[in-house]
Amino acid sequence: MKKWKKFSLFFILTAALTGLFTTTVSAVSPFILLGGKEGDLQPEILQRLYDNFVKDDRWKYLVEGLGRTLLITVVAMIIGTLIGFLLAIIRVAHDKNGSVPVLNVIARLYITIIRGTPVMIQLLIIYFVIFASVDIDKMLVAIIAFGLNSAAYVSETVRSGIMSIDNGQFEAAKSLGLGFPAAMIHIILPQAFKNILPALGNELIALLKETSISGYIGLMDLTRGGDYIRSVTYEAFLPLIAVALIYLVIVILLSAGVSKLEKRLKKNER
């Protein structure tokens, strides 16, 4: 029951400690190599931590950046899930009943284009081409870009989830007089969702990390925040490792959340 909780807590702690250890060691090692005395050690690392994170409230770049990163990820995932399910349902409706042929072509085209081009280019096109002449919030651009991108991947995941449900479920629904939408909503999607939950969790994690390119449109996300600190302190190691650790902890928390949800859904069935 509470095993995963203990496990993930243990995992986070290990990760954090490892991170702290490597950070300290590497902060210290050049110093040792240079033959510094032991007594100088502490003030040196403290000074560097101070310069990178405390001075001029530099930690705020990380905290505010994290806030933006999370906001983009969450809203983009919601948009991606909504559109993704819609695209998947269109494609399944076409495959199963031959209905909505035009929408199906549009959906396929959309998925092909999105999956066939780098998300970075999509982000740049949306910002510098589509919204070139409009003064639009960069956050909104990032949310739209990552949401639309995610939709294509989610839709393929959902489609494979629906296809994995035995056709007999559909036929039984049909034989009772239920239509395609009712069968989808009450029978197929609930079962498919449970099967694809791990894959959707992976998509969310991938999305979180993908948002780290938001800096290319001048958005101060977590990555850009760390990079900014680097550019003012001329120290790469501490800010970048700190950023990496923050991503890592969030990914671990997300994984734990997904597996908890998975367990709950599984328990509902029995």
Partner 1 sequence: MSDNIKNGEVLIRVENLSKSFGDNLVLDDISMEIKKGDVISVIGPSGCGKSTFIRSLNLLEEPTGGSIFFEGTDITERGVDIRQIREKIGMVFQQFNLFDNMTVKKNIMLAPVKLKLMTKEQAQTRAMELLETVGLADKADNYPSQLSGGQKQRVAIARSLAMEPDVMLFDEPTSALDPEMVGEVLNIMKDLATKGMTMVVVTHEMGFAREVSTRTIFIDGGKIQEDDVPEKVFTDPKNERLRDFLKSVL
The residues binding partner 1 (CB under 8 A) are 166, 168-169, 171-179, 182, 186-187, 190-191, 194, 269-270
- Tokens 């399910």 correspond to what residue? 85
Nearer to partner 1, 24 or 169 (CB): 169
Cα distance between residue 115 and residue 152, in whole Å: 7
- CB 179, min distance to partner 1, A: 6
Contact 41, 28 (CB under 8 A): yes
Among 66, 77, 54, which Cα is nearest to 224's? Answer: 66
Nearer to partner 1, 25 or 172 (CB): 172
- CB 176, min distance to partner 1, A: 4
The tokens describing 159, both together, are 């489609």
Cα distance between residue 211 and residue 220, in whole Å: 11
Nearer to partner 1, 35 or 168 (CB): 168
- CB 165, min distance to partner 1, A: 9
- CB 106, min distance to partner 1, A: 26
Q: What is the DSSP string of 237-249?
A: HHHHHHHHHHHHH
Contact 124, 217 (CB under 8 A): yes
Nearer to partner 1, 178 or 249 (CB): 178
- CB 190, min distance to partner 1, A: 5
- Tokens 């498919």 correspond to what residue? 192
Sorted by sequence, the CB contacts under 8 Å of residue 135 that are 6+ apart come out as: none
Contact 22, 241 (CB under 8 A): yes
- Element containing residue 207 per DSSP (H, E): helix 189-210
Nearer to partner 1, 77 or 173 (CB): 173
Q: What is the dihedral of CA 124, 209, 200, 202, to 10 degrees?
A: 140
Nearer to partner 1, 158 or 219 (CB): 158
- CB 170, min distance to partner 1, A: 9
